[in-house]
């Protein structure tokens, strides 16, 4: 398996993980919010559930379409995966800032920082293979 094919496979796998996470948030927002420490069992918060379901839909749609393009038009998919990678790395940076500034629960934040960073780095892999072609203006030859 070449580096190019491996990078595409790993990026599609990261998209599947991101889409699955979105599906979990969409289907069971209360459980996912409880895991994040944003909701408690005594007082359900339906506005938070609506926001959680909206986030789940965004994750499913963005990661699903990116995975499709990685399979059918890898150069376009690599650009889309790079945008998702920036979002995941931004989430990791935000969690790191939360850990440093708010003194939030360290165990949850450390695990989430690692998870977000790994997904973000995995999604950057295809752009290292075809990135020069994308930057030059979508020269698809």
Tell me the C-alpha distance between 75 and 80, whole Å. Answer: 9
- Total structural domains in the chain? 1
Residue 57 located in a structural domain: yes
Residue 42: pLDDT band with limits 50, 70, 90: low
Residue 18 located in a structural domain: yes
3-state secondary structure 106-123: HHHHHHHHHHHHHHHHHH
Nearest to 53 by CA among 25, 94, 30: 25
Give the pTM. Answer: 0.81
Residue 81 located in a structural domain: yes
Which tens digit of pLDDT belongs to each residue from 100-116? 887 766 667 788 899 99
Residue 47 located in a structural domain: yes
Residue 140 located in a structural domain: no
For 16, the domain range is 3-135
Residue 131 located in a structural domain: yes
Which tens digit of pLDDT belongs to each residue from 22-31? 999 888 888 8
Q: Count of CB atoms within 10 A of residue 127's CB?
A: 23
Residue 141 located in a structural domain: no
Residue 43 located in a structural domain: yes
Token pair, residue 27, equals 């289907």
- Is the dihedral angle over the CA atoms 61, 2, 115, 82 positive or is it negative? negative
Residue 70 has pLDDT above 90, yes or no: yes
């Amino acid at each position: 398996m070449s580096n190019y094919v491996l990078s595409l496979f790993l990026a599609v796998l990261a998209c599947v993980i991101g889409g699955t996470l979105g599906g979990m948030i969409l289907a069971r927002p209360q459980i996912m919010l409880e895991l994040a420490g944003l909701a408690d069992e005594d007082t359900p918060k339906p506005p938070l559930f609506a926001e959680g379901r909206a986030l789940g839909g965004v994750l499913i749609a963005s990661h699903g379409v990116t995975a499709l393009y990685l399979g059918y038009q890898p150069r376009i998919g690599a650009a889309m995966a790079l945008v998702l990678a920036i979002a995941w790395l931004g989430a990791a940076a935000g969690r790191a800032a939360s850990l440093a500034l708010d003194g939030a629960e360290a165990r949850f934040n450390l695990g989430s920082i690692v998870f977000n960073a790994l997904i973000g780095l995995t999604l950057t892999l295809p752009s290292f293979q075809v990135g020069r072609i994308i930057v030059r203006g979508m020269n698809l030859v």
